[in-house]
A and B are shown apart, each in its own frame.
Chain A
Amino acid sequence: MKITLIALGMLMSILCVQAQTPSVERFFEKYNGYEDSFEISLQGWMLKGASLFAEDDVSKQLMRKISKLRVLIMDEGSLVSKQEVGRLLKNVRGQQFEDLMEIRDEGNNINFLIREDNNRITNVLMLLKGDEEFMLISLEGLLKFEDLNRLEINVTGGDHFKKVPKNRRDVPRA
């Protein structure tokens, strides 16, 4: 009986860890004390309410399909160093996140990463690093690849994917 309980406990803790990512959590915690930082966390009904304020269809849709959204906005982009961003990316890649897209546009560097489980996307990370601003968005939920499919892009030059593949297997590896 005891062994079953311990095993169950371990299983539960593993499941809980899957939802949150330690390095992402730490990142949020680290920067929310700063003067120019703004952090918002939304879940449940509030996500639906907030989606009404979104002007872009894609973000509107996404907001309705997820269970939790967390945003960190730094008005002074320079407060978050390139190294910090690099370290965060490295950490999350080691915690089952995979790169989906990377865009370089007008001095801004944008990264999209996802974590999936059983062919569903459970976490999405979006990072925007520029000289004047920094943004980190973390999404949690159960998304299908199709949901992200609408993030269509047609970029000339730089690392990019033309379109988010429908199937996980088709995601080109770096």
Chain B
Amino acid sequence: MNTIAIKQLVDKYFEGETSLVEEQQLRAYFKEGAVAEELQEYQPLFQYFATAKREELPSDFDERIVIELQRPAKRRFMRRMVQMSSVAASVMLMVAAYFWYPTTELPSTVSNQINWEQYEITDEEEAYKETKAALKLLSRNLNRGAKKAAKSMDKITKKKRRIEN
């Protein structure tokens, strides 16, 4: 069988559209050893199937093969791979979520229970006054710390300047 035909078969195989006979052909081609350069990467894959086939047939093989024939072999293999990786992925997602949000209590349930409305200021003028007072307190305190830090820096860097003069 020529390389182009084989290549077409390989593509068909990965589409899941090869018949059993065609798969046999592929196996035979890769088993023989005279594999074209561009197809060499597929060799291990088809050789797997080749060696797998050499195992002893179980007694209920005929029954089994009927069942298996219902689903193409490669799809089962791929599906299992996908399943395994999905499980792994979701486990990792959960682990990541657990560590990413290390809150001991579920916040949404706690905050849902708080009735803030009880303490709400309902008068606009009062609300504004309170906000202003709060912002003033915030500012004052921020300034206090910031100023003190800056002044300390000045003190030390200035020290040298004074010596210079």
The residues of A with any CB-CB pair to B shorter than 8 Å are: 38, 40, 42, 46, 49-56, 58-59, 62-63, 69, 71, 73, 103, 105, 108, 110, 126, 128, 135, 137, 151-155
Contact = CB atoms under 8 A, between A and B. Distances in A.
Contacts of A55: 150, 154
Given A42-B146, A49-B146, A58-B157, A155 B163 contact: yes
Contacts of B150: 50-55, 59, 63
B160 A56 contact: no
B153 A63 contact: yes
Contact of A73 (B146, B148, B162): B148
Given A42-B145, A42-B146, A103-B159, A135 B152 contact: yes
A57 to B, nearest CB: 9
When A and B form their complex, which 9 residue pairs have the shortest distance between CB atoms, in order from nearest?
A: A59-B153, A50-B146, A53-B150, A54-B150, A153-B160, A58-B157, A56-B154, A154-B164, A59-B157
5 contacts: A42-B149, A52-B150, A53-B147, A71-B149, A137-B156
A151 to B, nearest CB: 6
A58 B148 CA distance: 16
A159 B98 CA distance: 56
User: Majority SS of interface residues in chain B?
Assistant: helix
Contacts of B154: 54-56, 59
Contacts of B164: 152-155
A48 B164 CA distance: 28
Given A49-B142, A152-B164, A128 B156 contact: yes
A110 B156 contact: yes
Contacts of A108: 159
B71 interface: no
Interface of B: 142-143, 145-164
A110 B159 contact: yes
A59 B153 CA distance: 6
A105 to B, nearest CB: 6
A96 B156 CA distance: 22
A50 B149 contact: yes
A126 B154 CA distance: 12
A17 B130 CA distance: 44
Contact of A137 (B142, B145, B146, B153): B153
A126 B156 contact: yes
B146 A62 contact: no
B145 A56 contact: no
A46 B163 contact: no
A40 B163 contact: no
Contacts of B145: 40, 42, 50
Given A52-B146, A55-B150, 14 more contacts: A42-B146, A50-B150, A51-B150, A53-B151, A56-B154, A69-B153, A71-B148, A73-B148, A103-B163, A128-B156, A135-B155, A137-B152, A152-B160, A152-B164
